[in-house]
Amino acid sequence: MAGPEPARRGHMRARHSRLGALLAATAVTAAIVVGLVDAKAGVGPDGSGAAAESTEAHSLLGSYLAGRVARGQNDTEAAARYYRDALAHDADNEVLVEQAFLMETSEGNWAQAVPLARRLVAMLPQHRTAHAFLGLVDFADGKYDDAEQHFIASNANPIGELTSTLSRAWNLLAQGKTGAALALLDSPKQPEWAQYYLRYHRAILADAAGNAAEARAAWERIPKNDQRSLRITLGYARHLAVAGEKQAALTLLKGQFEKTKADSHPMVRALYDEIESGKKVGLLIKNAKEGLSEVYYGLGEALTGEGSVGVGAIYLQFALYLVPDQPYALATLASAYETTKRYRAAIAAYERIPRNTPMQSSFDIRRALNLSQLEETDAAQKLLEQVAKDDPKDIRPLDALGGLMRNQKRFAEAVDYYSRAIALIDKPEPRHWTYFYSRGTSYERLKKMALAETDLKKSLQLSPDQPMVLNYLGYTWIDQNRNLKEGLALIEKAVRQKPDDGYIVDSLGWAYYRLGKFQDATKQLERAVELRPEDPVLNDHLGDAFWRVGREREARFQWEQALTLNPEPEDAEKIRQKLQKGLSPPAQAKQPKKTREVQHRKEAPKKSSGLFPIFE
């Protein structure tokens, strides 16, 4: 929906000949791209300030290329700025207008996006994304006939056809044409995957229209498997509660509890408590504007979840154009920013969500994790401490705090947080293995081996097939030269579970090395480096193994390679010593205590995100 259509590519080439000529005539394109980072500050690649003296042609080319680079790096904020600059030099270039429009909508810059969309449909009358957006603009202004025409024009390819149909239905409802809206949603020609959305929107549209009987029939026609998705569960339960069927609503929500088999989703738990207490609840979608926003939220969430982050972000922004504080759209947009490592933008999106929702602690935990990614550890810790204080029974902020401290190598503090988290567990279940594993690895880094082993064994007892636990405990035993047979068996089992995990394969190879099985060690360590060539510890291990089997030239190469990969300072010094002197004969060698920091860092389980799935 967001890309140029193939049918008009020849037309596009004719329309942007000026830009094409500039690209073809410029022999130093690569050098210009390199210099673009500083160009906006008026500094050339050599620091001389040459960018300020660029010709108009080079300014256009530079801004265009900078926009492409920024877009390729998912920095749509910078891309929007660069394309805006390029348009100042070539206002009628349809390629620039299109790219500027897409980037401005990706950022929700509506003051720029609206006129760009109007210019774009004048240049390219079949541009689907521009028509869809202008349909939303006219809908918001109450120009329903104009909105209808734009939504019809956005109808192309399966996703465009579905978007058009759903948008037109809500546009009809806004005009009081409920029957026509429902008829439009009975669209058997749409593919089966699209029927999920058509059925769901038929139900919430009928509810919003006040047609309870039609809504009930629509909810009941949704297949049982689809009824288990979160958004449908919430909508159907609210429908039942509004109809006075309290017990049916509670039974439906209990089904969600059973599905998760763990902590229930905060929104489900909050609605359950609300209905059980007898409080009056409202419908999920109350009017046409909320319904149309729901169209773009739902499809945007699906697109970002499938990896189409760029298009998905545009859909989410469209949802927010109509309902700027829509919590689900904002949370999903924040998650998309996290995927593209735009942590500051993710924090800003979370902060736009109205406070005091059932998801507030989840959003605050996500904000803290993003602060951690920005290396603002103190601010992240302070925020998580406040979340833990607000709800002393919530284990998630304590888990996140433990992970934060582990990442900072503040293992004593990590142990304290994990201990507080474990104290909240009445009866440990398989899903609690991560807390014991994380505390056990922290104990190991503090050289408290007995406590570490106790926790690692407990973690393995709770979840016997977890590769990370098998790997860590097995290596710990071998590194201490005890339980060698059992330790090797644990690591071999971990490798069977995750044969393509370079760190676990490295553990197996290093175990063989410690046991003096140098040929076996070399085979496994070569495989580990193939899987993770960027890791200094794995390259160092392979160098040691090569030396032991007489491949000394290759050993030196691996050690030199390890030094180029930024090893820990103490490891770097040991590698330099080996490059100078090699290794002592095995009988005289002091088996070096290799840190497992690399495995600890890379294989630690994903910390509890604090953000439950929003639209399953």
What are the tens digits of pLDDT across the range 542-587?
999 999 999 999 999 999 999 999 999 999 999 999 999 999 987 5
Comparison of pLDDT for 497 and 156, the residue scoring more? 497
Residues 501 and 386 in one domain: no
Provide the pLDDT confidence category of residue 261 given band limits of 50, 70 and 90. low
Q: Quote the pLDDT of residue 262.
A: 60
Q: Quote the pLDDT of residue 289.
A: 98
The residue from 123, 142, 168 where one domain ends is 123
Residues 48 and 106 in one domain: yes
Residues 558 and 440 in one domain: no
Q: Which two structure tokens, joined as six digits, stand for 436? A: 């014991």
Residues 533 and 446 in one domain: no
Residues 489 and 588 in one domain: yes
Q: What is the pTM of this model?
A: 0.82
Q: CA 467 to CA 495: how far, in whole Å?
A: 7
Residues 406 and 514 in one domain: no
Residues 443 and 516 in one domain: no
Q: CA 89 to CA 56: how far, in whole Å?
A: 7
Residues 434 and 520 in one domain: no
Q: Which two structure tokens, joined as six digits, stand for 490? A: 């644990």
Residue 298 belongs to some domain of the structure: no
pLDDT digits (tens, 9 = 90+) for 515-537: 999 999 999 999 999 999 999 99
Residues 459 and 498 in one domain: no
Provide the pLDDT confidence category of residue 257 given band limits of 50, 70 and 90. confident
Segment 185-191 long-range contacts (CB within 8 Å, at least 24 positions apart): 190/158, 190/161, 190/162, 190/165, 191/158
Residue 139 belongs to some domain of the structure: no
Residue 304 belongs to some domain of the structure: no
Domain that holds residue 14: 1-123
Report the CATH number at residue 491. 1.25.40.10
Residue 616 belongs to some domain of the structure: no
DSSP string, 81-116: HHHHHHHHH-TT-HHHHHHHHHHHHHHT-HHHHHHH
Q: For residue 191, give the amino acid letter.
A: P
Q: Which two structure tokens, joined as six digits, stand for 206? A: 């009928």
Q: Which two structure tokens, joined as six digits, stand for 606? A: 């994903």
Residue 270 belongs to some domain of the structure: no
What's the mean pLDDT in 324-337?
96
Q: Which two structure tokens, joined as six digits, stand for 6? A: 């193939």
pLDDT digits (tens, 9 = 90+) for 111-122: 999 999 999 999
Q: Which residue's entry shows tokens 């734009």? A: 150
Residues 450 and 491 in one domain: no
Residue 52 belongs to some domain of the structure: yes
pLDDT digits (tens, 9 = 90+) for 207-231: 999 999 999 999 999 998 887 789 9
SS3 labels along 241-272: HHCCCHHHHHHHHHHHHHHHCCCCCHHHHHHH
Residues 443 and 533 in one domain: no
- Is residue 7's pLDDT more than 90? no
Supply the mean pLDDT for the chain.
87
- For the beta carbon of residue 382, count every other beta carbon within 10 angstroms: 12
Provide the pLDDT confidence category of residue 12 given band limits of 50, 70 and 90. very low
Write the DSSP symbol of residue 608: P
Q: Quote the pLDDT of residue 39.
A: 38
Residues 51 and 100 in one domain: yes
Q: Quote the pLDDT of residue 479.
A: 80
Residue 452 belongs to some domain of the structure: yes
Q: Quote the pLDDT of residue 56.
A: 54
The residue from 91, 123, 155 where one domain ends is 123
Residue 247 belongs to some domain of the structure: no
Considering its fold, how many domains does the chain have in total?
3
Q: Quote the pLDDT of residue 260.
A: 63
Task: Please give the backbone phi and psi of residue 420, each rounded to the nearest 5 degrees, phi first.
Answer: -65, -40
The residue from 123, 140, 169 where one domain ends is 123
CB–CB of 438/466 below 8 Å?
A: no
Q: CA 374 to CA 27: how far, in whole Å?
A: 38
